[in-house]
Structure 1
């Protein structure tokens, strides 16, 4: 089981709204064999957003959900040219996302990934590479945090 691979990175996200971005991630998760239903996973991502924002700040959000539709733990990364309103902690729009996929029973893995990535997002060099790197650079960067 590989948590992340190059096909789970999209540096050309097209969404203009939070809903469109979450749908793109749900479809990307399905294409990567991480979920049994894109629609079901999208619903769980949306429910999580309604609880409280996943907008980290600095143009980055970490949408995530523990979901019955997730078949294996995964990390997807997206970046887009559009600045998307996300109700981030700093009230700034978002254009870079790290999406965490965790099975409904994977509470500890969910917290581990969220904690590791949140800490690393405090590092300006990590954030700069995430926002400007190629897919391969992003893969190497994020794998170094979650492994």
Structure 2
């Protein structure tokens, strides 16, 4: 399977809290066949958030977790109209997310994806396209970074 597909992009996230957004990603991960159990993956995402924020700044967060419930590496992207409190590095709310799904044994892949995406989030053009693009545009944009 591919790391990312258009079905793993939701530009109409409904969540108004961090917990609701993480639940949406857990459900989306199951629908995309990347995760075996939404509740288990959701718990792992929440545990990771307790360690330190995944709020990158500029309205973007990169929630992620290495989890026994993840069947294969994946990337999901979400965007919503609700500004969600996320304890981001710049103390600003978040409305755009890149969620990384990594099996427990996928340490190197996890670090590679996180590093590639974090670097690219310094590029204002990339961020602008992420925040305004269609699903297919976002797919091409992110795949260009992680491939």
Q: Name the TM-score class by shorter chain.
A: over 0.9
Aligned to 2:43: 43
Aligned to 1:136: 136
Aligned to 2:29: 29
Aligned to 2:88: 88
Aligned to 1:123: 123
Q: Secondary structure at the match of 2:42?
A: helix
Q: Where does 1:91-106 land on structure 2 (aligned, <5 Å)?
A: 91-106=91-106
C-alpha deviations, 1:72-96, integer Å up to 9, x for none?
0000000000000000000000000
Aligned-pair RMSD on alpha carbons?
Answer: 0.2
Figure out how many residues of one structure are paired with residues of the other and give that number.
Answer: 147
Aligned to 2:74: 74
TM-score, normalised relative to structure 2: 1.00
Whole-Å Cα distance in 2 between the matches of residues 84 and 18 of structure 1? 7
1:112 Cα deviation (Å)?
0.1
1:101 Cα deviation (Å)?
0.1
* Gap runs ≥5 in structure 1: none
* Gap runs ≥5 in structure 2: none
Whole-Å Cα distance in 1 between the matches of residues 128 and 70 of structure 2? 30
1:7 Cα deviation (Å)?
0.1
Whole-Å Cα distance in 1 between the matches of residues 32 and 132 of structure 2? 23
Whole-Å Cα distance in 2 between the matches of residues 36 and 29 of structure 1? 9
Whole-Å Cα distance in 1 between the matches of residues 66 and 19 of structure 2? 18
Whole-Å Cα distance in 2 between the matches of residues 42 and 32 of structure 1? 15
1:108 Cα deviation (Å)?
0.0
1:7 aligns with 2:7: yes
